[in-house]
Amino acid sequence: MICKLTGKEGTPAKAHIIPESFYFIDKELNEPSLLVTNTKNIYPKRTWKGIYDNSIVTREGEKYFLKYDDYAYKLLVEQFTSAKPLKLEAKTIGYMYDKFDYKKLKLFFISVLWRASASSHPFFKRVNIGPHLEIIRKAIIESNPGDPDFYSTVLALFDDGDERNWPKIMDPFKGKISDITFYTFYLGNIIAYIKVDKRKAKTPMKEIQIDPNRPLYLVKRNFWDSKEVSIMRNMVERLKG
């Protein structure tokens, strides 16, 4: 096949759009995770391995993603206890990492955006970034994360105490935040808002986007009080029916 990333021929890779590690699949529970979408005519499915697509990149092309995938998982999941709580009047409103590798983390998220748009898997059918696909492809090949406004990315976290390890695998979608286009991705309990718009993000997104000259911020969200919980419940009922 011809690799969509490198343009070179090679052996197809079973490339995960979102790394399998972010699905929090616990084999000891003897129960697969549930992929949930509210896209019309697409029904929830169960999976042991997450979602992969062997039509995107070759094995050589996939190597461009591996170090970024590994770094993002280690930072945001394995090393989460090193993040400092951000408090307002004694209430935790988010978390902060004093230090992080901007290049690796930013390239991870824009590569996830690229993979989702390049994929033909129905779970990612709502991700279509058009001419931005080629711009991001070049950035990945050149290992260039751009400045903070280049496909700026804001992170949030579903933080429900003992529910942190419950996998929430929902399909990404496009929306508007302060009239600026963002794609929302769910990576386990991490939520990434990635800007796909020529305009710069507006307040408050601009102040908390990933920036090499600031700490890394994750805004706290409660899953059980969010709109996503109703989507999850509805899809589970559809699966049972």
Comparing CA positions, the residue from 18, 53, 83 lying closest to residue 217 is: 83
- Residue spans per domain, the chain: 15-240
Phi, psi of 71 (to 5 degrees): -65, -45
pLDDT at residue 184 tops 70: yes
pLDDT in tens, 123-170: 899 999 999 999 999 999 999 999 999 999 999 988 765 444 455 567
Interatomic CA distance for residues 158 and 185, integer angstroms: 13
**How confident is the model over 34-63, as a mean pLDDT?**
69
Name the pLDDT band for 122 (thresholds 50, 70, 90): confident
**How confident is the model over 212-241, as a mean pLDDT?**
62
Prediction pTM value: 0.84
Q: End-to-end CA distance of the chain: give it in Å, rounded.
A: 40
User: 154 pairs with which residues across the strands?
Assistant: 193
